[in-house]
Amino acid sequence: MLSMMEFVVHLLLCLLFVADVHAVDRRAEPFSPTYQVDKFNRSSFPAGFLFGASSSAYQVEGAWDIDGKGPSIWDNFTHKFPEKIRDRKNADLAADSYHLYKEDVRLLKEMNMDSYRFSISWPRVLPRLLPTVTLFHWDLPQALEDEYGGFLSLQIVNDFHDYVNLCFERFGERVKHWITFNEPTFYSVLGYDMGIFPPSRCSSWMNNNCTGGNSSTEPYIVTHHEILAHADAVKLYKTKYQEYYKGIIGITHATTWMVPYSHTLDDRRASKRALDFQIGWFMGPLAFGDYPSSMRTLVGDRLPKFTKEQSELIKGSYDFIGLNYYTSLYVIDTSNLPIDSKNKSYTFDSRTRPTAERNGKLIGEQSGASWIRYYPRGLWKMLLYIKRKYHNPLVYITENGVDEVNNYTTPSEALNDNFRIKYYYGHLSFLHKAINDGVQVKGFYGWSIVDTFEWINGFAVRFGLNYVDFNNGSKRYPKLSAKWFKKFLQK
């Protein structure tokens, strides 16, 4: 059996040395004429622009307890609280990419993609497809959670340092794009404010059957430590490895564009506050050395402070910024409502209320999941905002995609995913517009290469460009969207 190091090395070798020659299938596919690629395709984007697909270790690998892997907080969470997963399932097997990674690489090449973004499983450690590696995608070793509370303790910075140093040392020659954290704000909010993700901590008044916690303080403490761990990892890479390996390092943020509910000044200000509490929570410190002033004002002493040395360390600690974008929301100002002085939480601190509906109409067409609506303009707006607010950094779209409800009786029924093609075409069109407007976007990764275990939704929804038959050896079948990408990316 493969060790974790052998598995990652084999995957990286497959990505780097898989053959570049493909048989081109020129048979007509039943795409809508709206999404034909004769006028809008790969050649519409700048030279060197990367197209790829994403995954994460816990969501696709399986092999949860073999070859010396220790349990993660997600292993423990799904085994201990199956009722908190929509279909009561877990990712012990997932898409079995631990054993089928060569098939995943073949699918990427079949779609004419340039790059594969995947994560290394922390608990498992202790052509030319370009590998983009995420170092932390939510699967904290359970041992660290049990020992000192994981990211609630500053000790996590030292342990993360040791872990990423090992990764840089072992894989630095092959990996040129590193991502320290994937969506760290979601890790903080869903795990420590709402408590619906592991380690399932929140205030008792949330009534989410949490294991303990304080929604008014812990999300901010966890994020503070994530920022320090990120900055320390970046410093390590830049001082010890970057000159030799010539790679770049950044971080990936979850983004949702916030549209003012009305044209009133209050709602426009609420939109800005909502963005401060979302992407500004991380990008404020990374770009300017401190949290946004709106957060300092509204959160007060519950928001940790950086020392002068820490502020200098975190400011500018990235070569690029990764953005995950799926949808947008309207936002309503609630600053005129009474403040609940007892039941405080991150959720209510911004004094805003997001909603997907205005005047009885959704912001965009509904997907299979309750939280995604088709609003590609929001990607363009978010990119322009990043350009203006944060000094026009290098940007990669590290996730973008849409799901379908897993209610098909046969794989063939799930393969005709025309809405997914519409979704990608619309978002790539607005991405192209943002590039023309001067945003420095260098790559795009669709979520996801195959159907995955979608966290608390389990296998109830499917995001994959390629269908996985979880009941038949995890066999893969290309969906219509995969065939569309193959044509879109044809060189």
Backbone angles phi, psi at 205, to 5 degrees: -70, -15
Angle at 50 between CA 45 and CA 55, to 5 degrees: 135
Residue with tokens 């598995």: 7
Return d(Cα 186, Cα 316) in angstroms, integer.
22
Are 291 and 226 contacting, i.e. CB atoms less than 8 angstroms apart?
Answer: no
Catalytic residue (choose from 183, 226, 404, 454): 183
Return d(Cα 121, Cα 72) in angstroms, integer.
9
263 by DSSP, 3-state: which? Answer: coil
Nearest residue to 464 (alpha-carbon basis) of 473, 456, 474: 474
Are 354 and 331 contacting, i.e. CB atoms less than 8 angstroms apart?
Answer: yes
| Cis, peptide link before residue 481, omega less than 30° from 0 | no
Burial class (CB in 10 A: 0-12, 13-18, 19+), 383: buried
Sequence-distant (≥ 6) Cβ neighbours of residue 372 within 8 angstroms:
326, 327, 366, 402, 403
Residue environment code for 22-61, b if the CB has 16+ CB neighbours within 10 A, otherwise e? eeeeeeeeebeeebebeeeebeebeeebbbbbbbbbbbbb
Has 183 been annotated as catalytic? yes
Are 474 and 20 contacting, i.e. CB atoms less than 8 angstroms apart?
Answer: no
Are 32 and 422 contacting, i.e. CB atoms less than 8 angstroms apart?
Answer: yes
| Beta strand pairing call for 404-405 and 461-462 | antiparallel
Backbone angles phi, psi at 434, to 5 degrees: -65, -40
C-alpha distances in angstroms, 151 versus 174, 176, 183, 188, 219? 29, 27, 14, 9, 10
Catalytic residue (choose from 145, 399, 404, 454): 399
Q: Which residues are catalytic?
A: 183, 399
